[in-house]
């Protein structure tokens, strides 16, 4: 079952998202809508920290939290801030394929070696660091994780007028 829907025209945006911040995000990023001038954030975007990924959106359009795998579990205060102080009423989570947070254990040696060579860590300390944190940040499957994270956030911030999961596919 394919759970992604390509957004290649305005009509391919689900009707419930049209004329909303989520719809605008899709129009800006996918459909090259001209960038409007924004004075206040309209949504919060949670996306991966991957340096290969970027968005085409106007300045001031969104708060953006970048975290490995779009995992906002350890950024909840920032999510709450965007809602409470920033006034956003929509959340978009954006995942991508070939995410480095999938199968972290396969990168264990590279991770440890990198901390030793690039940060001057002792090997034992680097290994302990990996073993402590990798289980917190591991995601098994990009799509399943984004769906579960959207569900978790929906339950946490149930009162929100609109909270959405947006899959933009391979950005």
Look at the pTM and tell me if it is higher than 0.95.
Answer: no
Task: Give the rounded percent of residues in the chain with a pLDDT score beyond 70.
Answer: 91
pLDDT above 50 for 48: yes
Task: Tell me what pLDDT residue 107 has.
Answer: 95
Confidence band of 79 (pLDDT split at 50, 70, 90): very high
CATH class of the region 10-102+139-156 = alpha beta
pLDDT above 80 for 160: no
- φ, ψ for residue 66, nearest 5 deg: -105, 120
| Residue 26, token pair as written in the block | 């899709």
- Biggest CA–CA distance in the chain, Å, is 55
Q: What is the residue extent of each domain of the chain?
A: 10-102+139-156
Q: Determine which helix (DSSP H) or strand (DSSP E) holds 110, and give its type and residue range.
A: helix 108-119
Average pLDDT over residues 53-79: 94
Higher pLDDT, 5 or 106: 106
Task: Tell me what pLDDT residue 159 has.
Answer: 53
Q: Helix %, strand %, coil % for the chain, to 5?
A: 45, 10, 45
User: 133-142, pLDDT tens digit by residue?
Assistant: 999 999 988 9
User: 105-143, pLDDT tens digit by residue?
Assistant: 999 999 999 999 999 999 999 999 999 999 999 998 899
| Ramachandran category for residue 121: left, alpha or beta (phi over 0 → left; psi -120 to 50 → alpha) | beta
User: What is the rounded average pLDDT for all residues in the chain?
Assistant: 90
Task: Tell me what pLDDT residue 167 has.
Answer: 46
Task: Tell me what pLDDT residue 84 has.
Answer: 95
- Contact criterion met (CB below 8 Å) for 49 and 96: no
- Residue with the two structure tokens 């102080």: 85
């Amino acid at each position: 079952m394919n759970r992604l829907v390509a957004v290649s025209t305005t009509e391919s945006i689900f009707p419930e998202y049209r004329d909303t911040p989520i719809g605008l995000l899709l129009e800006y990023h996918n459909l090259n809508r001209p960038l409007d001038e924004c004075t206040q954030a309209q949504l919060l975007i949670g996306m991966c920290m991957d340096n290969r990924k970027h968005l085409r959106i106007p300045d001031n359009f969104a708060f953006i939290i970048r975290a490995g795998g779009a995992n906002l579990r350890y950024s909840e205060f920032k999510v709450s801030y965007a809602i409470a102080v920033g006034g956003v009423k929509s959340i978009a989570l954006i995942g991508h394929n070939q995410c480095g947070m999938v199968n972290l254990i396969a990168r264990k040696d590279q991770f440890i070696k990198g901390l030793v060579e690039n940060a001057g860590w002792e090997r034992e300390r680097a290994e302990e660091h990996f073993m402590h944190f990798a289980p917190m940040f591991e995601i098994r499957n990009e799509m399943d994780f984004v769906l579960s994270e959207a569900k978790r956030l929906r339950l946490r911030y149930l009162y929100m007028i609109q909270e959405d999961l947006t899959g933009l596919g391979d950005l």
